[in-house]
Chains A and B, each alone.
Chain A
Amino acid sequence: MPASLAPAHNTGNPIAVEMRGLNKWYGEFHVLRDINLTVRKGERLVICGPSGSGKSTMIRCINRLEEHQTGTLMVDGIELTNDVRNIDAIRREVGMVFQQFNLFPHLTVLENLTLAPIWVRKVPKKEAEEAAMYYLERVKIPEQAAKYPGQLSGGQQQRVAIARSLCMKPKIMLFDEPTSALDPEMIKEVLDVMVELAREGMTMLCVTHEMGFAREVADAIIFMDRGEIVESAPPSTFFANPRTDRLKLFLSQILRGH
């Protein structure tokens, strides 16, 4: 079942990410099975599913942290091939936030934020620092600029990681379980930043199990299982009318106690 996602208010927006018949194997293991997906500019997509379902692998294909074997993948009008120039061009436009933050521990918060703009975009240092401070204000931790990542809490580190991606002024943001490694009391501060980003119209693909977040901001939710997209629907129908047994089972498991 090809999942063509184009919620009413976004129809007609240019396509940001398009996957056609995408397949990937790890040796014998078929991680991604015939993935078809269209994400338009400004669209917010939440991807959920049991662990090992291929959701992280799928979004990691978008900036080539993982390589797909068959099918086509277009990002911002550029096709991802083995051409290094294309990969570099796409990575400049696609930001990513990781489960484990992956901040650079030997650099201060400010240096973490200015590194890529200075070295990749060739922005003058002073300008890069001004932009970095602007984004630190937006994630509400400008006072931590001179500290090292190790001195911050998990929630603060993840907000720095989001700011670090935003400093490259990406057109698309990928979130790979951004709150899964956080203590419960820090999840909200990170989600708040993400909600704000969504409100400003950022194109977002989020792998997350935060269903409250999905309900609030997602244009569509995708359910993946065993390497395939099983269902995709706007939040209202996704939760109210799951069509497949697999999604019903999954929802009963993750929504228990909510």
Chain B
Amino acid sequence: MALAIGLAGCGTGAYTWGWYVVSPFDSRGQASLKFLLAGWWATVSISVSAIALSVVLGAALAIAGLARNRALRWINRIYVESVRAVPLLVLLLWVYYGLPVVLGIEFGVFMAGLLTLALSDAAFEAEIFRAGIQSVGQGQTEAAASLGLSRWQTMRLIVLPQAVKRILPALGNQFIYVLKMSSLISVVGYQELTRRANELVLIEYRPLEIYTFLVLEYLVLILLASWGVRWLERRMAT
């Protein structure tokens, strides 16, 4: 709210603030707040699902990139280089309008948004995982091999747990990035935080107040996420 008061103070005087639009003490404000805050679940659910999917996909891509098999390594390179090169909004439009035609199936905005975020983020996760996996010394895989563990067991039980611990700060960054980028899904009509703010602006015509509130919503969300990541880091530190 300090930010809001600050903004109010630096107005030219020509602008009349109308905070009633998001005021919990105003009946109209209450209705607006209810409408805006309903977007939280939409933003959080799509972001968390996308992160979960992209972590799995990214880890798989990273393992492919480090495989002995040349074809698998190429899959990694092509995926990372091409997906990373496409702007998220462009990818979203293509997934939402194009992919259903290619696959011959219909999906809604949630699915389109989830796929876009996950596919795009997976390219970044793949590079993060690759760095993490490579940072685990050869001595670890040799010790595991000498004990008779298979390559897959070694990856799952020895290498990945150590890699994940090291890349946690980078994964936290990606999670925050995905949370923010989920706002782009508003473009195709997914009713998350940004979409709801946009819709309310059209009804109330109070963009400054509503968008300021939107900024605060994201701020709180990101701070919570960042706190969560730090908690996880502490818990995994040994």
- Asked if A120 and B149 sit within 8 Å, CB to CB, the answer is yes
Chain A CB within 8 A of B157 CB: yes
Asked if A91 contacts B158 (CB within 8 A), the reply is no
Give per-residue flags for B117-146: 1 if the beta carbon is below 8 A from chain A beta carbons, else 0: 000000000000000000001011011111
9 contacts between A and B (CB under 8 A): A64-B145, A65-B142, A65-B145, A96-B146, A98-B142, A100-B139, A106-B238, A115-B149, A168-B147
Q: Are B146 and A91 in contact (CB under 8 A)?
A: yes
Q: A98-B142, A102-B140, A119-B153 are in contact. Are A88 and B147 (CB under 8 A)?
A: no
Given contacts A119-B153, A148-B238, contact A104 B158 (CB under 8 A): yes
Main secondary structure of the interface of B (DSSP, over half): helix
Task: Report the bound CA distance from A116 to B158 in whole Å.
Answer: 11
**Chain A CB within 8 A of B161 CB:** yes
Asked if B140 and A116 make an inter-chain contact with CB atoms under 8 angstroms apart, the answer reads no
Contact A115 B157 (CB under 8 A): yes
Task: Return chain B residues, CB-CB under 8 Å to A92.
Answer: 148
Q: Which of A88, A102, A150 contacts B142 (CB 8 A)?
A: A102
Q: How far apart sit A115 and B145, CA to CA, in the bound complex (Å)? A: 12
Closest chain A CB from B25 CB (angstroms): 52
At the interface, yes or no: A95 with Cβ under 8 Å from chain B?
A: yes
Q: Which residues of A contact B148 (CB under 8 A)?
A: 88, 91-92, 116, 120, 168
Chain B nearest Cβ from A202, distance in angstroms? 16
| Residue A23, interface by CB 8 Å | no
- Indicate if B206 sits at the interface (CB-CB under 8 A): no
Q: B56: shortest Cβ distance to chain A, in Å? A: 20
> Considering only CB atoms, which chain B residue lies closest to A105 in the complex?
B162
A106 adjacent to B161 (CB under 8 Å): yes
Q: Are B165 and A106 in contact (CB under 8 A)?
A: yes
* CA of A106 to CA of B145, assembled, Å: 17
Closest Cβ of chain B to A7, distance in Å, is: 27
B: number of interface residues (CB 8 Å): 19
B139 touches A95 (CB 8 A): no
A-B contact count (CB 8 A): 61
Could you tell me the distance between the alpha carbons of A174 and B137 in the complex, rounded to whole angstroms? 20
Given contacts A91-B148, A92-B148, A116-B148, contact A104 B153 (CB under 8 A): no
Select from chain B the residue with minimum beta-carbon distance to A174: B146
Those of B57-75 within 8 Å (CB) of chain A: none
Digitize A102-140: 1 where CB-to-B-CB distance is under 8 Å, 0 elsewhere: 111110000000011001100000000000000000000
- Which residues of chain A in 81-100 are interfacial with respect to chain B, using CB atoms and an 8 Å cutoff? 88, 91-92, 94-96, 98, 100
Interface string of A159-173 (1 = CB under 8 A from B): 001001100100000
- Interchain CB contact (< 8 A) of B143 among A64, A98, A106, A120: A98
Contact indicator per residue, chain B 150-166, by CB within 8 Å of chain A (1) or not (0): 10010001100110010
List of A residues within 8 angstroms of B158 by Cβ: 104
A63, CB-defined interface residue at 8 Å: yes
In the bound assembly, the distance between CA atoms of A120 and B144 in angstroms comes to 11
Chain B residues, Cβ within 8 Å of A102: 137, 139-140, 142-143
Within the complex, the shortest CB–CB distance from B182 to chain A, in Å, comes to: 32
Task: Please name all residues of chain B whose beta carbon is closer than 8 Å to the beta carbon of A95 when the two chains form the complex.
Answer: 146-147
For the complex, give the distance between the alpha carbons of A102 and B137 in Å.
9
Choice from A91, A104, A119 contacting B140 with Cβ under 8 Å: A104
A165 to B162, CA, bound (A): 21
Which chain A residue lies CB-closest to B142? A65
| 18 further interface pairs, Cβ-Cβ under 8 Å (given A64-B145, A104-B140, A150-B238) | A65-B145, A88-B148, A88-B150, A92-B148, A95-B146, A96-B146, A98-B139, A100-B139, A106-B165, A106-B238, A115-B149, A116-B148, A116-B149, A119-B149, A119-B153, A120-B153, A165-B146, A174-B146
Q: Which A-chain residue is minimally distant from B164 (CB atoms)?
A: A106
Residues on A with C-beta less than 8 A from B149 are 115-116, 119-120
Q: Which residues of B contact A120 (CB under 8 A)?
A: 147-149, 153
Q: Is the CB of A164 within 8 A of B147?
A: yes
| A-B pairs with lowest CB-CB distance, top 3 | A102-B143, A116-B147, A96-B146
